[in-house]
Structure 1
Amino acid sequence: MDILTSYSFLIVAIGTVILSAAAGIVGSISVIKGQSLIGDAIGHATFPGVVLAFMLFNVMETSVLVIGAVLFGIIAFQLIHVITDFSKITLDSALALVLSGFFGLGMALKSYVQGNPNFSGTQGIDDFIFGQAAYMLKSDVYLIIAASVISLVLFFFYYQQLRIYTFDPIYARTVGISIRFMNVLVLAVTIMLIAVGLKAVGAVLIVNILIAPAVTGTLWSNKFMTVLIIAAVSGGMSAFIGTYISTALTGIATGPAIILALSICVIFSMLFAPKGIFAKQSRLRKLGEAA
């Protein structure tokens, strides 16, 4: 109980819970459309932007580093489309190329910066690889809240258009919905959440908070709004549990603890949800008995 009233725990918990809940809602679009790996590629591609922003301004302020992350996320997304539109390279190959290439660039820049006496205070850069939520500041939480609120306001303002765009893009065109604008909107809110979540979860693990809650939601319901609610709740609860475990047990980082909690939630849903393994086996058994 002492942990639950601890100031440092509350700061980290508020940030991670809000981030995971918002990411679960926004990530549902990518999961339903079968574009989950785009978020993974963008997440890894933001890391060199973080390092370059540090190199330019020589400060370890999250608000400054987020700008670099956002810019490189946009560049990565555009590059993926250029590769797939103007070459014979498939989407999955383009994602792998961009993911590994950008992350490799980030690691090379990190090695250069950390070995250069002209740059000081470089230790914090490693936090953006695997995350270090335990060192989140109040300003980081404010940044997460602002990004989450903006993302959710945009999401629900265009909720009807996004729902049609997600399930039937052809019909969306016929009723005058701009597919290009919807793509930009989803990209903008996704990159925004990825950028502010890097310090908490890291570039390697950030995609999990976008995908895992949404996967959980789709396993429990076919209704879009219900999927969003389940994704937000499962994401927020997993973030709280992971933050609590990492605070209570020494030596366990917050980001990986949150990812493990999310993974357990997904595994549980895969087994026991209405669209899970046991439910499918039960239906097949009933069909066999009826035949």
Structure 2
Amino acid sequence: MDILTSYSFLVVALGTVILAAAAGIIGSVSVLKGQSLIGDAVGHATFPGVVLAFMLTGVMETSILIIGAVSLGIIAFLLINMMTERSKISLDSALAIVLSGFFGLGMALKSYIQGNPNFNGTQGIDDFIFGQAAYILKSDVYLISLISVISLILFLIFYQQIKIYVFDPVYARTIGINVKLINVLILIMTILLIAAGLKSVGAVLIVNILIAPAVIGMLWSNKFSSVLAVAACAGALSAFSGTYISTALTGIATGPAIILSLSICVIISMLAAPKGIVLKKYRMKKLGESL
């Protein structure tokens, strides 16, 4: 109970819960479109943007670093599109090249500035690799909340268009929906949430809060709105429990604890959900007996 009433815990929990709930909703669109791995590549690509933003400004300010992360994330996405559309490189190969290349660049730049006396105050850079939500400030929570609210407002405004586009892009074009605009909106929302979550979850693990809640939602329902609701709740619950575990147990980083909580939720859903293994076997057994 002492932890639950702690000011520092409440600040960190609020930031991670808001982020994970918004990421669960937006990430569901990418998963349903079969583009979840693009988020992984973009997530890794944002790390060199963080380092470059610090190198150019010399300031370890979250809002400035997020601008750098978003810029490199957009460049990575455009590069993936260019490689797949203008060459014979497959999407899987393009994702692997961009993911490893950009993240390798980020690590190289990080090693350079940490060994260079011209750059001071580089200790916080490591937090953007695996995340360290324990160092989230009230200003970071405000920024995460702002980005999450902007993403959700955009999602709600274009909800019907996004829903039609996700399930039938051909029909979406037929009725006059601007598919390119919807694609850009989904990209913007995804990159914004990835950038906002770097400090708390890290570039390596950030994609999990976009994918895992969506997978949980899809195991519990076939209805789009229900999938979104379950994904948001699963993300928020895992973020809260992961933050609590990392606060209660010394030496466990918040980002990995959140991802671990999400993974446990995925396993439980795979077993117990309506579309899970246990109920599926039970229905098959009942069907066999009836025949």
Does 1:240 pair with 2:240?
yes
Does 1:37 pair with 2:37?
yes
Following the alignment from structure 2 to structure 1, what is the Cα–Cα distance between the partners of residues 268 and 100? Answer: 31
Give the counterpart letter for 1:225 in structure 2: S
Corresponding residue number in structure 1 for 2:19: 19
Does 1:10 pair with 2:3?
no
Corresponding residue number in structure 1 for 2:46: 46
Report the secondary structure of 1:201's partner residue: coil
Corresponding residue number in structure 2 for 1:110: 110
Corresponding residue number in structure 2 for 1:64: 64
Following the alignment from structure 1 to structure 2, what is the Cα–Cα distance between the partners of residues 286 and 241? Answer: 37
Give the counterpart letter for 2:280 in structure 1: K
Q: How many residues align?
A: 291
Corresponding residue number in structure 2 for 1:273: 273
Q: How much has 1:225 moved relative to structure 2?
A: 0.4
Following the alignment from structure 1 to structure 2, what is the Cα–Cα distance between the partners of residues 85 and 182? Answer: 19
Does 1:263 pair with 2:275?
no
Following the alignment from structure 2 to structure 1, what is the Cα–Cα distance between the partners of residues 163 and 287? Answer: 33
Give the counterpart letter for 1:93 in structure 2: S
Residue deviations 1:269-289 (CA, integer Å, cap 9, x gap): 011111111121112212222
Report the secondary structure of 1:206's partner residue: coil
Q: Which runs of 4+ in 1 moved over 2 A?
A: none
Corresponding residue number in structure 2 for 1:224: 224
Corresponding residue number in structure 1 for 2:192: 192
**What TM-score results when the alignment is normalised by the length of structure 1?**
0.99
Following the alignment from structure 2 to structure 1, what is the Cα–Cα distance between the partners of residues 159 and 134? Answer: 34
Q: How much has 1:290 moved relative to structure 2?
A: 2.5
Corresponding residue number in structure 2 for 1:96: 96
Does 1:149 pair with 2:120?
no
Following the alignment from structure 2 to structure 1, what is the Cα–Cα distance between the partners of residues 257 and 147? Answer: 23
Residue deviations 1:141-162 (CA, integer Å, cap 9, x gap): 0100000000000001100000
Corresponding residue number in structure 2 for 1:76: 76
Following the alignment from structure 2 to structure 1, what is the Cα–Cα distance between the partners of residues 96 and 276? Answer: 29
Following the alignment from structure 1 to structure 2, what is the Cα–Cα distance between the partners of residues 149 and 186? Answer: 14
Corresponding residue number in structure 1 for 2:201: 201
Following the alignment from structure 1 to structure 2, what is the Cα–Cα distance between the partners of residues 118 and 154? Answer: 41
Give the counterpart letter for 2:17 in structure 1: V
Following the alignment from structure 2 to structure 1, what is the Cα–Cα distance between the partners of residues 290 and 23? Answer: 43
Following the alignment from structure 1 to structure 2, what is the Cα–Cα distance between the partners of residues 193 and 263? Answer: 20
Give the counterpart letter for 2:37 in structure 1: L
Aligned-pair identity in percent equals 76
Following the alignment from structure 1 to structure 2, what is the Cα–Cα distance between the partners of residues 196 and 22? Answer: 11
Unmatched segments (≥5 aa) in structure 1: none
